[in-house]
Each structure stands twice: as structure tokens, then as C-alpha cells.
Structure 1
Amino acid sequence: MRKIYALIFFCFTTSLAFAQHLISGTIKDNNGQPIPFTSVYLKNTTTGTSANVDGKYEMKLKRGQQTISFRAVGYKQQDHIVNLDRDITLNITLASESYTLDNVNIRANAEDPAYEIIRKTIAQRKTHLEEVKAFSCDVYIKGVQRLKGAPKKFFGRDIQKTLELDTNRKGIIYLSESQSKFSFRRPNDVHEEMISSKVAGRNNAFSFNKASDLIINFYDNYLLENTLSSRGFISPIADNALFYYKYKLLGESTENGQLIHKIEVSPRRVNDPVFRGIIYIMDESWRIYNTDLYLTKQAGINFIDTLNINQQFTKVKDVYMPTGINFQFTGNVLGFKIAGYYLGVYSNYNVNPNFPKNLFTGEILKVTEMVNKKDSLYWVENRPIPLTADEKINYIKKDSVAKLKESKHYLDSLEKDNNKFSIGKLILRGYSQNDRYDKHSLSFDPVWRAIFYNTVEGLAIKYGVTYRQEYENRRFYSIRPEVRYGFANQKLTGSITGNYFYDPLKRASYGGSFGNGIFDLNNLGSMTPLGNTINSLLYEKNFPKYYYKDFVSLYTTRELATGLQANLSADYSHNKALANNSTFKFFDAKDREFTSNNPFVPEAEVPLFPDYSSLSVTASLTYTIGQKYITRPDGKFYTESKYPKITLLYKKGLNNVLGSDVDYDFVKAEIFEDRIGLGLWGHTSFLVGVGKFLNNAKMYYPDFKHFSGNISTIFPPNLRKFQYLDFYQFSTKEQYFEAHLEHNFAGFFMNKIPLLRKLKLEELVGGGYLSSPEKRNYKEFYFGIQRLVLRASYGFAYDGAKKINQGFRISYGF
């Protein structure tokens, strides 16, 4: 019995020792206004939280005496000793920080003392950047996006109903929270495991929050490259910062025994890619203590108008780590006025972690099956930042509506309205018959895109319907029948294509197609049907050339290892050369006639090749160096790699198998890299490829290695595409070498021209090179300007040393 009493007493005293109590309250300034996002931490620790946007905070702590620090940028830190033997309310009033210049002598015409402080900080920049070799911590991220105003309708849709806004078309359009365990090892190893995730109105969704996205390190020279701008932004303490920034010492104060310098930073030139605002530097160690910096349109940001970055650092052993990071933004896009923030609270740092051996792989974020299954009680107990009144309403309203939307009755009523047929919809946008409850759809192509003209078929129509059935975790299969008919050649063709995406984690699928059809002689394509229709009917130019084939194709693809994708395919076809059957045009150009369908004999309809059969097998491996990815229950999601992508391919034409008439062996190697960041100088992309037919005993033109050419003024951009190369003349059955290089200066020069900088134009230069037995030493160079998805350029093409072409090119990336 005594043992039982002793056990009861032990359990009771242990529960008292580990009991937690809630401390909560509101943090305001001397004028009674709430101070948003104030840091609330146990003194001299990284255990803490943040106030919400209304200044309200709450934190659970062990019973007993505790010292709590309240800290906000621009306010004097306050420490409060509390004795937690019950839940308590502690409201705080923070006084504005008074930064004085009492100890600073500023002489007339002398350099501001801030410059010497910044020089010392720059001298220590690399040391502070690299002093923490590794760390782990807990991260809570909250993201809120609001509409402050919107048009009544957008593309015919009622915005208030679509986005579930109030009558003034205002409200929260995105609200999410997540908790993660974050690990980092220098130089760039990252691993994050999401513990919980919640998204308002999306009960089965995963938050887009990622701790590594919020970490912004002002000890780096350049920040936010290829995100809000094509080039990066210069840190106020970058090695070359003195060339771009002006500094002003606003004052000094003492916090936690440390002398803190408050320094205003501003651009030397209004439109330089730099920050504005305040940076707080610690004396003697020359570390960053706080940042309150922002970017504006003048700095060259896209999509938003302003971005404010607020950071607070806390001492962890002998270093300082960020404990609060807040990104606040505003913008106006197509009449939609947006505002919001992403807040990261970093706690429980370990700056000397002992990581498991295989923690750091290509996986930067792991999201498990149960992450989004936490109930409301869990969040009440574990949410470190209290919700505001409208956030509570948003969760309740959107989660209730989400459950309603999952019901068959609701989805049936919704689809009844959405699935209404109209001729206008079918012609312009296509028509879809959706069943969201059973997760399948039937989509009919837009009619206007199905009608075209070419000289082989005359007026033609190519029309398809796609059926898609979805399953859990993004698995799906699709089936697409397609028919094509030419009124001039009176030829009806058709095919069926199927695809099954069966393993999202391995990016695995298989599929195939069979039927017959009319295809471009260049398997990389030449002109779009619409582009060729316009050129043929208006200008009497029929650039694309076609052939007919009956075919069966099978393929499979699967990831073998991180960043390594394998593809295997087999193709059987019976091929026939075609001739023109129509000479119709709207305008008869007196100095021009349609050419034949043989690109090598434009004056006569001579068959390019005899009828023949072909069976080929293709195997390829594509490896992305340093590939990073996110793992979720619904798939594996690659992020952009900083390193090149390498492709190896082997293709075999099989002779005397199933009547095949071809015999060849082709190998190819390519290396490709997109958007190599070069700081203020923009970014570079390149592609280099080499290939050879090891055996070309029996081949016909469709089996040749073709190149992506262009002879149109307007075309869709592609780094692989030569801008002045003929579509067909230089295809080879021997060997080749090709290279493409393009550099985007991201406004480096245009930004310095007052009348042009507001247009945010980006300068670009580029070129291509091709060498093969058919075309030795072909070169082209171009230069131009770009704005988002539109670009205009002017270039020159050379055959050896001889200039063979020049002209304007306009491209679009819709």
C-alpha cells in the first residue's frame, strides 16, 4: 500500500512540475495602438512566439517563476518576471525606442559616422555568414493574403461569389499555418519535415509554407535572385554596398548590455536594385541585430508594389540567430488590390546538432500523410499565435463550405450549372463535362483552334476529345481520341492516345497511341497551324511540309533515383510521302508561288522518300545535377536546380523486324542549364548538344536528326530554337554539334534611362551555332528587349563568314 501511495505522490508531484499555464495579453504602444508581430520569448532563450497582427499573444510555459522579454523593432525591449501558478493575463505597453546621438560627434561637411560602422560590418560580413556551420530549430509559419479591393467581374465571373468576399469585395483569400522541424548545414544543405498543416477551405490540401523560402540572409551579397526580379537585390552590407547605398546614423541605444546603432539606408540612385529602411548593427561585434527594410517598384520588383522584411535576432550561445521573420507585401494586379504577410517564428535552436547520417539528401521538405489531418483541438492547443477575429471566421466559414462542397448533392448542383452547353463556349473555350465527385471529366477542344489550312490538305479540321479519371494522390489516366479531315485531299485520319500516371512518388507513367495521321516532316515541329494558315492564305507562303503515317507507339517513364529520369519507347509506323492538293489563297502574290511539299525540290511534286515501314526503340536518361525536391503523399515535386541537366539518348532502327525497312543507330548527349544567376548582371541560359549516327545503313528523311528552326517573324520562344534556320534543309543522318547561349541583363542598362526604366524592360543577347555535314559553321546572333512573356529582337545569321539572313523577331511565352 505504501508503494501505491508513493507512486501516486510521485505522479502528482511530477505532473505539477511539468504542468503548463497560459500567459496571454495584448501589446500596445503609448497611444494605445496594438503593436503587431511583437516577439515574446523567455529571456536568454529561443523559446517563444509572436503577437498577431492585432498585438495579441499567448504562450504556454511551465509553472514557476519566468522572465519574459517583449521586443519589437522601433520599441524599447521590456522584461517581465512572472510567477506562473495559474493562467494569467499580462497586457504590455512598449515605449518607442529613443536612439540618441549624445556620444557621437558630427562635424560639418564630415562623413556620417554610419559609414564607418557599415565598413566594419562589411569587413565582418563573410565571418558572420559562415560562423554557424549547422543548426536545427522549430518553425511555425503563418501566411495570410487579403483582397483590399477587386473589380466586380473578371472574364465574366462574379468576383464576390468566386472568391467568397464581402459585399465590398474585400476579405481573406488565403489563410494557412504550418509547423515544421527545420535543419540546415552549410553550405546549402536543407531538410524540413512538416509536422502539421492547415489551409482555410481546403481540408485535404497541404500548405505551401516552406521555412527555407522565408530565410533571407543579409550577410549574402545578393538576395531574392530570380524571384521578384530577374536579378537580385544588393544587401546593405554587401561587399560593394557603399557604391549603391547612402547611410545615416539615426542614433544609438543599449539593449541587453549591447550598444545598438540605428542606421537609415537609402539608394544613391533612386532606381538601383537596393533596399530602403532601417538596419540595426551591434557595436564591437558588428552583427545585424534587427532589420526593417523594404523594396518598392523603384527597385525593380515585379507583381507587387512593396515588400517589407522585418527580422529580429536573438543570441544563441555565442552567435545570433533570427527568431522572427516577417514578409509584408502590397500590390495591385489588374484591379485586384492585395495585401498580406508571411510570418515565421523560429524557436528551440540547436547550433551544434548531431544530424543523422542520411538526413540531407535531395529532399528539402517532407510532408507525410497525417500532416493535414490535425483537428481543431490540436490547433487550439498548439497554435503559437492567436487567430484574429476575422481569421477565426474565415476558418469556420471556409472549412464549412469546403465540407459542403465535398458532398455529392452540392457537386451535382454545381456541375449542373457549370456543365451547361453553349455554342459560344464550345467555339471559343471548348466544352467540358465534369463530375468532381467521381473525379472524372470529358473535355471537347475549342472549335476555332481545330480549323486550319495547308496546301496538302486544304481547309482541314483536327478535333479531339479528352477523358480523364483522377484517383487519390494525383494518380490519373486519360484517353484521347482524335480525328482529322482535309477537304482538298479528302483524307480522314484518326488516332487514340492513352496515358496512366500511376506512381507520383516515382514520377512514373506509361501509355501509348495508335492510328494514322498527317505529321510534320520535322519531328520538332515547324510552324503552328494558325501561323501557317495566316502565311498561306495571306502571303502565299506554305512553309511546313507533311507526310502520312499509320503508327503504333508505346512508352514508359520512371524515376530511377533522385534527379534521374528514365524513358523507354517503341514506335512502329508505315510512312508515305504526300503532295500538295490545294493552291487556294486570299491574295495572289505575283512574285511568289506555293512551293511543293518536298522541301528539296520546291518547283515540282517529287516524292521525298518511297513508302516504307519503320520500327525503332528509344532509351534515354535525363539527370539533373543537385536536384532538390519536395515529397508529399500526392507526389514528388522537383524544384529548380542551380546545376545543369544532362540527357543521354540512344535510338535504334530495327531492320527486318515486323517488316521494318530501316537500319540505324543514333546516340545523343545534351547539357542544359536555365537561368544561371549572375547577380546584378542578370542571368544566363545555355544548351549544348552533340550527336552521331553510328550506323546509317538504311534511313529515310523522317528518321533523320532534325533541328528546331524558324523563319517566322512571330514565334513561341525556346532556347533550343534557331531563329533564322530553315526547318528542313539541314537535317542530318551523320553527326552534328549545336550550341545555344542567351543572356538576360535584367534591366541593367535600361534601368539607367529615365524615360524607359518605368517600362521594366530587360535587355537580352543571344546566339546559336550548328555544324554538321549539311551545314558547317552556321551562326546566328541577336539582341533585343523583353517584358515578362513578350520579347522583340533583331539578329543576323551567317553561313561561315557569309551573312545569309537578318531581321526582326517577335516571340511570346503564353
Structure 2
Amino acid sequence: MCLTLLFFPAFSQNISGFIKDENNNPVAFANVFVRELNTGTATDAKGYYFLSIDPGVYNLVYSSIGYQPKTIQVIISDKPLKQDMILPASNAQLNEVVVKASRKDPAYEIIQHVIDNKEKFLTQVKTARTQVYLRATEVIDVKKKKAQADKEEAEESSKEGPPLDQFAAEKKKEEERLQRINMVEMQLTLNFQYPDQYKEERTGFKAYGSKEGLFIPVFNESDFNFYQNLVYLKGISEVPVISPVSKLAVLSYKYKLEEVLVENTQVVYKIRVTPRKTGDATCKGILYINDSTWNINRLELTLEKGGLKFYDAFTIKQTYQNMGEEVWIPSRQEFIYQTKAGAKSFQGNTVWVFTDFQKDYVFPPKFFGNEVSITTKEAYERDSSYWKSARAEPLTIDQQKVIAYRDSVEAAHKTKAYLDSVETRFNKITVGEVLYHGVGFRKEATKRNIYISPLLSLINFEVIGGFRLGPYVSYFRRFENGRRLYTSASFSIGLKNTDWQGSIGFWTRYQPYRLGDVSVRAGRSFHSINSFDAYLNQLRISNYILHEHVDLFHRIELVNGLYLGTELGFHNRHSVEDYDRTSIINRVIDEDDPLVFENYQALISTVRLAYTPKQRFMSEPNQKVVLGSKFPTFSISHRRGWNGLLTSDVNFDYIELGIEQNLLLGTLGNSRYALMAGKFVNTKNLPYVDLKRFRQSDPYLYSDPLHSFQLLDTSLSATGLFLEGHYIHHFNGAMINNLPLIKKTKIRTVAGAGAMWIQQSNYRYEEVFGGIERIFKLGARRRLRLGVYGVISQTNHRAPETGYKISFDIIDTWKREWSY
């Protein structure tokens, strides 16, 4: 028997019992921690615990939220030990709503501790620098219907010829699969200064395939800090997300303590977060909270689908790392997103890995500013050896295959033989191009393109005289330094009046970083006096003159946010009274009389200054990418008609001031407004064509609410002072999405107003409108917003009127913003 004990250790025993409070109620999820073993367990919902342990002497610590901890010493022998414990209540006072909730689940008290301590974790890092490795991957899956797949398989098996090479077929299938995987790798240095200043220095960037559908945020615009009360997710969500640890989070969320974990001596509470009501400003998922320090250990939260702009689902995972002195920082973030379009599904994954964290880093003066990201030229030239050493997280098998495949394809596409084959294939003229699409010629090496319009587009239509016949050609070139050049020319002959018209234009971006553009355009055409007028008015003859012109335009950014635009045009203006003006339009709109005037010349200049304070931007090697600002855009413009110069007959001066801004109002939605004021300060010889005009409203169609009115029943003009203002607010589900039945319809509310005053006629106009909008998916990333609105308007010359409008708006996929 003694020999047996030498070769077999003593069997483990156990200790168990119940933990209760002073009123003999069970304490659920209480902690039982063994100091000597750095491990422990937790009680179940009935307050019962069980712990397997080797014989010996141990110190056990019993603790729970809201109770005073107790420590006892126990001796574990060769028999099971039963040890109950009574925990006295803590003297800590909690918020009433939290106290009531904590009686149901201790998670509420844990969350309250996090809320009480979160200010410390928000402010504990004043400055920092860290390295970030980013990898974004998108997998596109195409699901074919069973009937279609069976048909393709039958067609393949029925083909005559030699037996199918299974190896070649599998290789082709695998290449097709890899073609549907896109990936980007990026290495950067991230600099931070409290409270919200970020600056990225991108030192490595490599794209494998298209990056269009990948989530690659700018840190300055997407701060996923859930210690903030509201988490703004620009480009992802229409509204900011209420953090589960915001000061009033208990009003928006329910909490449940699911498990108590012990990780390397750290007690961690696993808490499920559930919205009290399904709204676009909430999220759901899991929070892991550290005991004692009351900070976030890690989280996994999914955003509500209704608030997402482009995605059908979006999940955020964060893991924090202890840097000592109770400093916990994110060490890894992962974003999982997906969307569908027809038979295609798009599964995306973006990972950030943070390394080499340097707290209290000393930055030089004025290091942080409006430039929030800079990419070096070398970043795009990194080779495979660089990425092997830079990757902070290993590649998956599929990612390794994608890189190998894309690199081989890229190498093949750079060969002269491939470029020549692409040119030959693109430059081949087909019947379809000649008839429908237009003929194009491309030079791959120099990035040149020539385009000639197809035969069908030779026929054009004008309000004056009807059908015209003529071609259109264009030339485009992109230079390695980011400069671009575009020229075009057109010519046409009227079938009814046998008159010629045409134009030639030249445009170049000569200074990409300062957005410097120059353009020259000359031609002869029928010109709309008010091209912004109601659609039906665009079909009226009285809205047109014959316009022979030469126009010069220049625009450049003088300093960040300050833009100067200048324009000089010489116009020879004629009445169209001598033209045969009849066309098929007369069947819909009665022919009206044209403007009758003697021919005259007009030399007109325009100078416009626009300034946006604190405009944020990204610097690329050959261009500047503007991100916007929290401040308004102020503008002033001066338009002058020069008398006597180059035989010019006009003489006037017009000045206009403007302010526009987009306001983010948290969970209440977002607002936009535009204010304008203008006046002709000189009207010595002011032609009718150059008056300040106000757009007549379209029947039924809703027009841009920031630059037009919805129930203005006539076109107006002004020479004296005018004041104009517009406002629109999108609630983004803030009001009605708390109603379950309404939320299912995905309808959102919108409201706005507009007003105008014209001094010379003492004309005053006001309107208010409200409506509902719904967003429809047109594809993986394209969205249509359909709206229906009710409008009430009044003037000082008529009684109030009402009307209804509908709108159609397509989201800008580049800016990820709507038109209004």
C-alpha cells in the first residue's frame, strides 16, 4: 500500500456550499477565489458553488457586487468539505433605478461601476503613439439557383470533344473563387492626443483586387471608443450609437450576467447587453468587464440593421490589453460586415492590431492639425519581404492564396505583351460600339483614352427647332503625378433651321494637391436663361437665347479650406425670334413668344471666395482628399458686367453672401441649413438675362430643399436686396422607430422650412414641410431614398396653400452622403 501511494498522488477533493445574504437570500454569481491557486469559481442562480481542489490549507475569498468580501482559511483533507457563507451588505449607495434592477441581476451594478469609473479610462492617456497593422478582406459569394446550376452542368457534360481535364477545371474554378476575394493590407503609425485628435502616418499600403467594398476607416472620423456616451460611426451608421456604458445606458439597455470568468487571476464578468426597445441608435452583444478596476476587458457588439448605410449587418469586436498602472488600451479590433445584392453576398472583415504602444509620447508643437492622415510615396512601393515582417497577425490559408494569385496576375498585367493585348482587344471596333456604345481607343502605357460617339447619339434634340445631327469626341489622359487632362468637341446641324452649333472644351487639374483646375470652353448654342428653373419651364421657348461664347475658369485652394474661383466669359447674345421654333414639344406645351432684343455683347467676370474653418483632409502622394469640417462654409461672390471692354455693352455689379452647414445632433438625427443674401449694387446696364432668379417649383416633384422652394408658383427675379434661408432635418428614426410596427416598415421622418424676402417688390414667402422617407437597396452599395412630403406655404400676396411632393435621391457612394 505504501508503494501504491508513492506512485499515485492523492485524489482531489472538493469544497461546496451556499452563499447567502443577511436575510438568508441566495447571492447569485458571487465569486469564490482561492489565493494560493489563483483560481476560483462562481455561484449559480441559487447561490451554490462547487470547487474541486487538492488537499491542503487554503485562503478562500468570498465576494460579490453590493456585499462586503470575507476571507476564511480552510483545510482540505481526504473528505469533501461543506462551507456556507453569509455576506453582509455593502454601504455603497447606487442610483435608484440601478438598485431596483440589481435585485434581478448583479450585471446592473457592475455596469454602474463601469459608468462611475469610465472618466478615468477616458482621460488616463493624454498622448500616445502606436503602430497599427490593418487588414481588410472581402469575399464575394455568388449563389446560383439549382435549375441554373443543373443546366450549366448538363451543357458542360454534353459538349463534344476530348474528355474534360479535371485538374484544369478545378484550377479554373479555384482562380474564379480567388478573383472574388479582395484584400488590403496597411501599416501605419497612429498618433493620439486627448481628447479627440488623431493623425495617421501610413507607411505601407497594398491592395489585392478592388478596395471599393472594404471598410478602411480614418481614425479621426471613426473613434470606436465605447467609454464615450455616443459613438459616432461616420460612413457606417446614419445615427450615433448609444454606448452600453453611457451615463444613461440603463434607460436604453437591459443587462444579464451570464458568467464569471477567472483569467490569469483577473475576475471577468461576462454580461449580455440587449436593447430595451429596438432602435437604430442601439446595439446588442457581450461586454466583458474586469472586477475591481471596472473597465472593459473586451466586447462584441452588433449594430442595428436599420441604422446602417451600406451594410446589412455590422459587428464590432474589441480586445483590451493591460499596460500596467491600470492602463488598459485596445490591442485588437475586428469589424465583421456583410451585405447582399441579388444572388451575390459580400462578407467583409477588417482587423486592426496595435503594437509598440508608447504612452505620454511627446509630440512637437503644432503636430496635430487639420491633416489627419498622410500616406508616403514609399507606402505604395513596399515589396513582399516588407509585408512578411510587418504583419502583426498571420494570414489565413485563403489570404495567402489571394496574395499569391493577385501578385502573379499583377506581374503578368505589367508586361508589354499583356498591355498590347488589352489595347488590341479594347481598340477593336465592333458593330455594337459603332451603333450603341461609342468607339474607344486606349493607350495603356500613357493612360490615354479617345472616345467617339455612336451613330445613335448623332441625333440630338433641342427645344428650339427640334432635332439636330452631329458627333461628339473626347480625349482623356491621367498622368503619373496625379494630373489629369480632358478635352472634348461637338458639332451639330439643325434639321429644321440648317444652322450650325458646336463647342470645344479643355480642362486640366494642374495642381492635384491644391485642387487647382483650369478650363477653357468656346462654342455656339441655344442657352437657357434659368437652367435651374422648373422642368416644364425648361421646355419653353421664352427661356432660351442664342449664345456665342468663350469662357475661362480657374479654381484653386489658397490655404487649407479657403478656395478661390474666378471666371471670365465673353458672350455674344442673340434673340431666337428668327428661328423656326416649332417642334414636337408644342403638342404638350403651347408655343410662347421668344425674348426679343437687339444683339449685344457681354464681358462678365465672377470671383468667389469660400472658406471652411478647420477643414480636415488626407494627404496622398499626388493628391489631397478633403474630409469636411464641423464648421460652416462661408462664401462671398462678386459678379461684374464690364462696360466698354472688348465691345461689351453691359454694366452691373452683383454681390452674394452665403453660409451652409451640416449639423450632427446625436441620436436626434442630422440637420442642414443654407442662408443667402444678395444685391445688385450697380444696375446701370443690367440685361434681363443676368437678373438674380428664383426657381419655380415643379408639380409633384420635390426639389433640392437647400436651394429651392417646394410651392413657389412662379419664377421670380430680383435686382435689389434679397434674403433666403432653407433648413431640413432628418430624424433618422429618432421619433417613430421606438414603435415596433413602424420600425418594421423602415420608414423615417423628415421636416424642414424655407423663407425668402425680395426688397424691391416687398415679396415674402414662407413654407414648412414634413414627410416620410424610406431607403431601398439598388445593389451591394447603391441606395435609393424615396420620400413623400406635405407642404404648407404662404406669401404676403396670397392665402396659405398646401401641396404634396415626392422625391428620389441616390446616395453618393464615394462621400457616403445623401444630396440633402
Is TM > 0.5 for Structure 1 vs Structure 2? yes
**Cα deviation per residue 1:162-219 (whole Å; 9 max; x = unaligned)?**
xx9747756653212111111112333221111112222589xx99564556640101
CA contact (8 A) 2:277 2:738 kept: no
Q: What SS is found at the alignment partner of 1:472?
A: coil
Report how far residue 366 of structure 1 moved. 0.7
Report how far residue 774 of structure 1 moved. 4.4
Q: Does residue 739 of structure 1 match 2:725?
A: yes
Query: Could you tell me which of 795, 801, 820 is aligned with 1:799?
Result: 795
CA distance in 1 between partners of 2:510 and 2:719 (Å): 37
Report how far residue 749 of structure 1 moved. 3.7
Q: Which amino acid aligns with 1:388?
A: T
CA distance in 2 between partners of 1:783 and 1:554 (Å): 42
Q: What SS is found at the alignment partner of 2:388?
A: helix
Partner of 1:32: none
Distance change >3 Å, CA 356–CA 392, structure 1 → 2: same
Partner of 1:699: 686
Q: Does residue 324 of structure 1 match 2:332?
A: yes
CA contact (8 A) 2:222 2:232 kept: no
Q: CA RMSD in A?
A: 3.3
Partner of 2:74: none
Q: What SS is found at the alignment partner of 1:751?
A: coil
Partner of 1:156: none
CA contact (8 A) 1:458 1:489 kept: no
Q: Does residue 554 of structure 1 match 2:542?
A: no
Query: Could you tell me which of 126, 133, 138 is aligned with 2:126?
Result: 133
Q: What SS is found at the alignment partner of 1:522?
A: coil
Partner of 2:156: none
CA contact (8 A) 1:474 1:635 kept: yes
CA distance in 1 between partners of 2:207 and 2:716 (Å): 54
Query: Could you tell me which of 286, 289, 310 is aligned with 1:303?
Result: 310
Distance change >3 Å, CA 495–CA 629, structure 1 → 2: same
Alignment of 1:49-64 (within 5 A): none
Q: Which amino acid aligns with 1:506?
A: R
More deviation, 511-520/439-448: 439-448
Partner of 2:747: 761
Report how far residue 115 of structure 1 moved. 1.2
| Number of equivalenced pairs | 684
CA contact (8 A) 2:223 2:232 kept: no
Alignment of 1:414-433 (within 5 A): 414-422=422-430, 424=432, 429-433=437-441
**Structure 1 gap ranges (5+):** 1-95, 154-160, 537-541, 597-603
Q: Does residue 770 of structure 1 match 2:768?
A: no
Distance change >3 Å, CA 336–CA 764, structure 1 → 2: same
Distance change >3 Å, CA 810–CA 427, structure 1 → 2: farther
CA distance in 2 between partners of 1:641 and 1:109 (Å): 43
Q: Which amino acid aligns with 2:649?
A: D
Partner of 2:352: 344
CA contact (8 A) 1:512 1:553 kept: yes
Q: Which amino acid aligns with 1:705?
A: K
Partner of 1:24: none
Q: What SS is found at the alignment partner of 1:174?
A: strand
Report how far residue 636 of structure 1 moved. 0.5
Partner of 1:401: 409
CA distance in 2 between partners of 1:659 and 1:577 (Å): 18
Distance change >3 Å, CA 686–CA 694, structure 1 → 2: same
Partner of 2:114: 121
CA contact (8 A) 1:458 1:581 kept: no
Report how far residue 725 of structure 1 moved. 3.2
Partner of 2:444: 436
Q: Which amino acid aligns with 1:385?
A: E
Report how far residue 457 of structure 1 moved. 2.5
Q: Which amino acid aligns with 2:791?
A: G
CA distance in 2 between partners of 1:625 and 1:427 (Å): 50
CA contact (8 A) 2:65 2:110 kept: no
CA contact (8 A) 2:197 2:220 kept: no
CA contact (8 A) 1:523 1:706 kept: no
Query: Could you tell me which of 730, 734, 752 is aligned with 2:716?
Result: 730
Partner of 1:149: 142
CA contact (8 A) 1:214 1:344 kept: no
**Cα deviation per residue 1:425-470 (whole Å; 9 max; x = unaligned)?**
5665554333323211123457777756554232346753221111
Partner of 1:680: 667
Partner of 1:86: none
CA distance in 2 between partners of 1:355 and 1:561 (Å): 24
Partner of 2:4: none
CA distance in 2 between partners of 1:168 and 1:467 (Å): 34
**Cα deviation per residue 1:96-128 (whole Å; 9 max; x = unaligned)?**
997765555999993211112222322333443
CA distance in 2 between partners of 1:561 and 1:482 (Å): 37
Partner of 1:511: 519
CA contact (8 A) 1:303 1:333 kept: no
**Structure 2 gap ranges (5+):** 1-38, 50-62, 67-99, 149-168, 776-782, 812-820
Partner of 1:618: 606
Percent sequence identity is 26
CA distance in 2 between partners of 1:573 and 1:100 (Å): 87
Distance change >3 Å, CA 145–CA 367, structure 1 → 2: same
**Cα deviation per residue 1:704-739 (whole Å; 9 max; x = unaligned)?**
223344324346646323233367x31222221111
Partner of 2:59: none
Q: What SS is found at the alignment partner of 1:473?
A: coil
Distance change >3 Å, CA 381–CA 128, structure 1 → 2: closer
CA contact (8 A) 1:134 1:185 kept: yes
CA distance in 1 between partners of 2:524 and 2:362 (Å): 61
CA contact (8 A) 1:663 1:696 kept: yes
Report how far residue 605 of structure 1 moved. 4.4
CA contact (8 A) 1:617 1:653 kept: yes
Query: Could you tell me which of 478, 499, 521 is aligned with 1:470?
Result: 478
Query: Could you tell me which of 218, 221, 236 is aligned with 1:228?
Result: 236
Q: Which amino acid aligns with 2:765?
A: Y
Q: What SS is found at the alignment partner of 1:658?
A: helix
CA distance in 2 between partners of 1:104 and 1:334 (Å): 52
Distance change >3 Å, CA 369–CA 730, structure 1 → 2: same
CA distance in 2 between partners of 1:413 and 1:735 (Å): 63
Alignment of 1:281-680 (within 5 A): 281-297=289-305, 299-318=306-325, 319-422=327-430, 424=432, 429-444=437-452, 453=461, 455-460=463-468, 464-524=472-532, 526-527=534-535, 542=540, 545-579=543-577, 581-585=580-584, 594-596=590-592, 604-605=593-594, 607=596, 609-674=597-662, 676-680=663-667
Q: What SS is found at the alignment partner of 1:135?
A: strand
Q: What SS is found at the alignment partner of 2:698?
A: coil
Q: What SS is found at the alignment partner of 1:437?
A: coil
Q: Which amino acid aligns with 1:813?
A: I
Q: Does residue 268 of structure 1 match 2:276?
A: yes
Query: Could you tell me which of 162, 183, 188 is aligned with 2:196?
Result: 188
| TM-score (ref. length: structure 2) | 0.77
CA contact (8 A) 2:448 2:478 kept: yes
Q: Which amino acid aligns with 1:796?
A: I
Q: Which amino acid aligns with 1:658?
A: L
Partner of 1:87: none
CA contact (8 A) 1:275 1:293 kept: yes
Report how far residue 565 of structure 1 moved. 1.4
CA distance in 1 between partners of 2:453 and 2:231 (Å): 44
Q: What SS is found at the alignment partner of 2:737?
A: helix
| TM-score (ref. length: structure 1) | 0.77
Alignment of 1:52-201 (within 5 A): 103-104=63-64, 110-149=103-142, 166=174, 169=177, 173-201=181-209
Report how far residue 230 of structure 1 moved. 1.7
Q: What SS is found at the alignment partner of 2:647?
A: coil
Query: Could you tell me which of 795, 809, 812 is aligned with 1:812?
Result: 809
Q: Which amino acid aligns with 2:658?
A: E
Distance change >3 Å, CA 523–CA 587, structure 1 → 2: closer
Distance change >3 Å, CA 427–CA 564, structure 1 → 2: farther
